[in-house]
Amino acid sequence: MRPESKTGAGPGVTTPGRVWFVGAGPGDPDLITVKGRNLLEAAGAILYAGSLVDRAATMFAPAGCEIRDSKDMTLEEMTDWLIDRAGRHATVVRLQTGDPSLYGALIEMTRPLTAAGIAWAVVPGVSSAMAAMAAAGETLTLPEVTQTVIFTRVAGRTPMPPGEDLAALAAHKTTLCIFLSITLLHKVQDALRASGWAEDAPILVVQKASWPSEEKIVCGTLADIKRKCQAEKIASQAMIVASPALGAADWPDLIRSKLYDPAFSHRFRKATETIHD
């Protein structure tokens, strides 16, 4: 369990402060939550995740705040830094990209804090998966097309657990948000083909979703998405989305959502039309 935090008054506190794991969102500093921004503005120390979130750290940190980039640090060095600063400040922020619960080593960092008696808490952030869909004007789910979203990645230096290889997940034919895999796009294509996805299946790639002036959106198919990404020189920081719902804005017909159908009642609205078989 997370230990309860003790009251601290800033630099020189004698009782531990609280470490906050804050999701900075996908890149645009304006997409950090209000709570996350408030914590940054109150922080005595901020440990941020490399160049991906440096603007949010520097824009909102107060004067005198200790700001440290973690890109050259090991996990042990990061947790030691957080523990040390929690002994000096009431509010310490670990600022991470996207949401801390997704590919963020959250549990690996909180276990040493708990063992040291340091209180911690998590503030969620906007995932790059959501930001990519927003940038492209697409939807993750669509009535009677797909109602399931899978967040996953291709095996690289980090292997996939048994039963979670991309080909097995792709066999469900639902929406796939594929993180950390743009350099392995050929493996994504192989896995989708092995699962029976058609060569003209739509694929979306968004690099640096929400980053002002740096965002790139590439719409293609299973057959040509790699070539299109190569043409755009996309080789890092990109979300790959494969979904039967992609491109639905241009379909001639859509199945209507039952929630807003006038023929269906729910506790806030009575049906105004008769359902016909």
- 87: exposed, middle or buried (C-beta count within 10 Å: 0-12, 13-18, 19+)? middle
Averaged over 72-85, what is the pLDDT? 97
Return the DSSP state at 204.
E
| Average predicted confidence (pLDDT) for the chain | 90
Instruction: Look at phi and psi of residue 186 and say left if phi exceeds 0, alpha if psi is from -120 to 50, else beta.
Output: alpha
What would the mean pLDDT of 107-111 be, rounded to a whole number?
97
| Residue 144 pLDDT greater than 50, yes or no | yes
- pTM comes to 0.87
* Tokens representing residue 30 in the block: 């304006």
- pLDDT higher than 50, residue 61: yes
Query: Model confidence at 275, in pLDDT bands (50, 70, 90)?
Result: low
pLDDT computed for residue 262 by the predictor: 65
Burial class (CB in 10 A: 0-12, 13-18, 19+), 264: middle
Domain ranges of the chain: 18-123, 128-248
| Class in CATH terms, 18-123 | alpha beta
Q: Closest by alpha carbon to 229, among 204, 202, 201?
A: 204
- Residue range 199-250, pLDDT digits in tens: 999 999 999 999 988 999 999 999 999 999 999 999 999 999 999 999 999 9
pLDDT of amino acid 230: 97
CATH of domain 128-248: 3.30.950.10
- Assess whether pLDDT exceeds 90 at residue 195: yes
Q: Confidence class of residue 1 from pLDDT cuts 50, 70 and 90?
A: very low
Percentage of the residues of the chain whose pLDDT score is greater than 70: 88
Instruction: Please name the residues in contact with 250: beta carbons below 8 A apart, sequence gap of 6 or more.
Output: none
Stretch 112-122: mean pLDDT: 97
